[in-house]
Chain A
Amino acid sequence: MPMNPKRTIRRLSLLLVALPVVASAQTKSPAPSGPPLQIEQGRNLYRVKGCYQCHGLVGQGGMGVGPPLAPGRLPPEVFKAYVRSPGGSMPPYSPKLLSDPELDLIIGFLRGLPQARSAADIQILRPYATSAGAVSGGQLERSQRRGR
C-alpha cells in the first residue's frame, strides 16, 4: 500500500508531541553515543547541515523555530523518520541530502551532549524552578512565528 505522505507527517507530528515524557526518561540514561571521532563528525554535520540554525548549537532549541533535540530526546528511529518527513515548517532532509550514516552520526553527537543543567541548580533561575511538574522543552514547540 502506498504511503500517504500527509498522513505520515501527521502521525509523526502526533508522535513528536507525545514524546517528551519518553524522551525525558531517556535523557536520564542516554544510549551510547559512539567514540569521540564519530561524535566530532556528528557535530560537524550538525553544523554543516544547518541543524543548529533552528535547534541551537547545543541542541537547546529556539522559541518558535525548533524544539530542543539534546540530549537524545527522541528514539533514533523516530528522529530519523521525522527528519525525512517532518511536520510543521521544518524542511525535509532526503537521503540524497543527508545519508543514513550521516544521520546516525548526528544522532550520536546529540546523544553525547552533556545532560542539561536544571534551573534549580542555577542561582538566577532558581526562583522560577518551584514547580516540579514542569517539563522542559515543551514551550519551544509552541508559538510558531513565521519570519519576514
Chain B
Amino acid sequence: MTTSHQAPDRRGFLKGSLLIGAAATVPAAPASAQSAKLVSAGMPTAQLAQAEAGPVEAGDDLEAQVRNAGSDFMVDLLKAAGIDFVAAMPGSSFRGLQESIVNYGGNEKPEFIACLHEEVSAAMAHGYAKVAGKPMACLLHSNVGLQHASMAIYNAWCDRAPMMVLVGNSLDAATRRPWVEWTHSQTDLAAMVRDFVKWDDVPVSLQHYSESFMRGFEITMTPPYEPVVLVVDSDLQEHPIEDRSRLSIPKRAPVSPVGGEPAAVRRAAAMLLGATSPVIVADRAARTAAGLELVTQLAELLNAPVIDKGGRLNIATNHYLAQTYRQRELIRGADVVLGLELTDIFGVFNSMPDVPDRVARSVTGPGTKVIAISANYAYMKGNVQDMQRYYAADLTIGADAEACLPQLIEAVRSGLNPSLKAAIARRKAPLQRAFEEMRAEAANDAARSWDASPIGTGRMCMEIWDQIKVLDWALVSNVVLASSWPLRLWDITHHHQYIGGEGGYGLGYGPPAAAGAALAHRAAGRVPVAILGDGDMMVVPGTLWTLAHHRIPLLTVVHNNRAWHQETMHLQRMANRRNRGVERAPIGTLLNDPLIDYAQLARSMGVWAEGPISAPEALAPAIKRALNVVKAGEPALLDVVTQPR
C-alpha cells in the first residue's frame, strides 16, 4: 500500500529513478524561471544534483533501493538557505534526512552536530544564532524529542532568537510500523510548542515543504526573531522524488524590519532634545553590530547615559555613557527615558521586592516621560506571560528599535541648534566622572573577597579577564549569577563579545548555548569563554561530549558554589517568613553530598579539565593552561569552587 499524497508504487518510482539517472549525465536544466534564480541562493551543485537522482549501477538490488529520496531535496533547501549546522540527537523519525545530510550533502554546510539530548540541540541553535546572526537548525525526534527540546525553544522565544526547528513525524497512520512509530507520532505535533514559536507548518508534499521551509526561514529572521517549527513527515523524507523537474526552491526573500512612523519619531526626538537628563535603557535593541553603533551614536548625540539590561550588548562597557550600574539614581533623576526593546519595561520604572504584600512602587522622579520603542508591541501571544506587566508609556512606537534608530538619530540631529549642542556638551564631564566612580566602586567591591577561599566570583572573573584581554575573545554565557563582574569590569566592546542570557531564565541553557556560540566563533578563530553555574552544568552535562566530539574550542569555567544557590535563598525567605528558621533550607538546594567533580566529569567525555580549584592563587596558572588548550582548538574546563555569588 502506498500513501495517497506522495509515493508511487515501488516499481513506478524505480522506473522514474532509472529515467532520472539516465538524464543525469548532463547538467540538469532548471525547470522553471523561479528555480533558475536559485543558483545564487545556494542551489545544489551539478554533482549534488547528480547524486540526488543518480544512475543505478549494475549489480545493485533495484527492488530494495531508493535513489532519489525526498530528504535529499530537503538538504538542498538547507543549503539554499545557508544553514551551516544541524544539531540533533538521532531519532528514527528523521533518519531519512539525517542520512541525506551526511551522505548526499557530504556533511558539509550543513554539518551534522551530534548531541546527547534534544535540549542541547535546541539551546546550541539558540546560542549559535546570537553570534552568527543567522539560524542553524535543530532536528528533533517527533513528540519525545520535541518535549525534550521544548524548554530550550522557550528560552529562545523569550530571547528573540531565530531558529529552524525541524521535527520528524509519521503522518500517514496506514504506513506506520506497529508500536513505536505510533507512540512517536502526533496529529498536531507543533501544538505542544505553538505558544512559544512564531509559526509552524506540516508540509504534505515536497513542494509544500520547499515553500514552507523558505517561508519559515524568512519568518524566523524577521524581527522580532523567534523560532519556527516545520514538521517533517517521514514518508516525505524516505519516499523518492516523483518528478524533480516539478520541484523548485523559492529564492530568499528577506523581510525588512519595521521602522517607526515618521511623526512619532519626530515627537520622540523633540522629547529627547527637550530633556535635561535623558536616559536610554536598552535590552535587545542591538540585534547586530550595527545596532550597537546606533545606540552609541544616539547616546553620544544627546550625552544620555545608557542602562544596558544585557539582552544583547548595546553599548561598549568601557564607554563613559555605559552606566548600567547607576540605574537607580539615573532613573530617579531622569526627565525623559527612552526604552529600546525592553522586555520588562514595568520593572525598569517600578520596584516590587519579594515580600508578602507585593506592592509595586514607582522609582521614577515626578514628571518623568517615557518613550518606548519595540517590535514586541506588534507581536505578542497570550498564554506564555513573557510580555511582563502592562506599562503605559507616554509615547509608544511599534517598531524594531534597530531599524528605527537611524530615523531617530536623524530627527535628533536635525533638531539640534548651537544652544542645545552647548547644553548637551556640558553633560559630558559629570557623566565621565560618574562612569569612573562606578567602575572604581565595582573594583573595590571585587577586592572585598580577593583572597577568600572558596574563591570570590570577582577574583575568578578578573583573573580570566587578565588573560583573555589580549586575545580575540568572546563571552558566551550569562553572568548575572556571578554578580555580573564581566559586565561591570571587562572592556566588552564588540557586539559579538557578549550575547546576553537565557531569555526565559530556564536552566539548561548555559552549556549548550555556549557550545553553539563557540561553534559560531570557531570560524573566526576566536577564544570563547563561558562562566557557567554548577546547577546549569548538571542539567545538560552531555554538552561536554559534543564539544569534544566536534573539537569546538571553548573555555568553560564552572562557577561551582555547590548549590542551587538562588533556590537556597528562596527557601530561607520562606522559612523565616514562617518563623521556622533556615537550618533545613539546604535540603534539596545544596549540591554538596556527594560533591560533584566537574573536572572528572569533563575528562570522562574527552574534555581537558582541571579542578576543583579552591585556592585563589592557583587560579591564574590553571587559566593559562586551559587557554593554551583552547587556543589549540580544543575545549577545556576549569572547576572553580566559589563563593555563592
Contact = CB atoms under 8 A, between A and B. Distances in A.
A23 interface: no
B208 interface: no
A128 B440 contact: yes
A145 B480 contact: yes
B354 A60 contact: no
Interface stretch (B102-110, B198-206, B266-274, B570-578): B570-578
B588 interface: no
Nearest to A125: B443
B351 A144 contact: yes
Interface stretch (A34-42, A74-82, A90-98, A104-112): A90-98
A96 B573 CA distance: 15
Interface in B590-645: 643-645
B262 interface: no
A22 B369 CA distance: 35
A60 B643 contact: yes
B480 A131 contact: no
B579 interface: yes
A146 B581 CA distance: 21
Contact of B579 (A96, A118, A121, A148): A96
Nearest to A145: B480
A92 B579 CA distance: 8
B302 to A, nearest CB: 23
Given A128-B442, A128-B489, A142 B328 contact: yes
B569 A53 contact: yes
Given A50-B582, A88-B353, A129 B569 contact: no
A135 interface: yes
Interface of B: 325, 327-328, 351, 353-355, 433, 436-452, 454, 456-458, 462-463, 465-466, 480, 483-484, 488-489, 505, 507, 563, 565-570, 572-577, 579-583, 585, 643-645
7 contacts: A56-B645, A64-B645, A68-B445, A125-B450, A134-B443, A140-B445, A143-B325
- Nearest 6 CB-CB pairings of A with B: A62-B645, A91-B576, A134-B440, A136-B444, A63-B483, A128-B443
A134 B579 contact: no
Contacts of A136: 441, 444-445, 447-448
A50 B644 CA distance: 11
B577 A91 contact: yes
Interface residues of A, number: 54
Given A65-B645, A124-B465, A148-B505, A118 B576 contact: no
Given A97-B579, A130-B436, A53 B448 contact: no
A58 B444 contact: no
A121 B447 CA distance: 9
B575 A139 contact: no
Given A60-B643, A129-B444, A124 B449 contact: no
A140 B644 CA distance: 14
A131 B440 contact: yes
A57 B582 contact: no
Interface in A29-75: 48-50, 52-54, 56-65, 68, 70
Contacts of B483: 62-64, 140
A82 B225 CA distance: 46
Contacts of B581: 96-97
Nearest to B454: A57
A122 B450 contact: yes
B443 A57 contact: no
A3 B9 CA distance: 87
Contacts of A140: 445, 483
Contacts of A63: 480, 483-484, 645
Contact of B447 (A49, A57, A117): A117
Given A57-B452, A139-B325, A144-B353, A131 B445 contact: no
A134 B489 CA distance: 14
Nearest to A62: B645
A21 interface: no
A88 B351 CA distance: 10
A89 interface: yes
Given A124-B465, A142-B325, A147 B569 contact: yes
Given A121-B447, A136-B447, A143-B328, 9 more contacts: A54-B644, A56-B456, A60-B456, A92-B577, A93-B576, A116-B444, A116-B448, A128-B489, A133-B433
Contacts of A147: 566-567, 569-570
Nearest to B577: A91
A119 B327 contact: no
Contacts of A135: 441
Contacts of A52: 644
A50 B442 CA distance: 25
A139 B436 contact: no
Given A56-B645, A117-B451, A131-B437, A146 B354 contact: yes
B440 A56 contact: no
A121 to B, nearest CB: 8
Nearest to A118: B447
B579 A53 contact: no
A62 B565 CA distance: 12
Contact of A134 (B444, B566, B574, B643): B444
The winner among B463, B563, B645 for most chain A CB atoms within 10 A is B645
A26 B6 CA distance: 82
B437 A122 contact: no
A53 B354 contact: no
A134 B441 contact: yes
A131 B433 contact: yes
A44 B151 CA distance: 40
B454 to A, nearest CB: 7
Contact of B436 (A48, A97, A131): A131
Contacts of B454: 57
A90 B505 CA distance: 22
B462 A62 contact: no
Contact of A138 (B441, B572, B644): B441
Contact of A91 (B327, B566, B567, B572): B572
B351 A116 contact: no
Contacts of B463: 124
A146 B344 CA distance: 13
A129 B645 contact: no
A128 B439 contact: yes
A74 B327 CA distance: 24
Contacts of B466: 124
A80 to B, nearest CB: 16
A116 B436 contact: no
Contacts of B645: 54, 56, 62-65
A48 B440 CA distance: 33
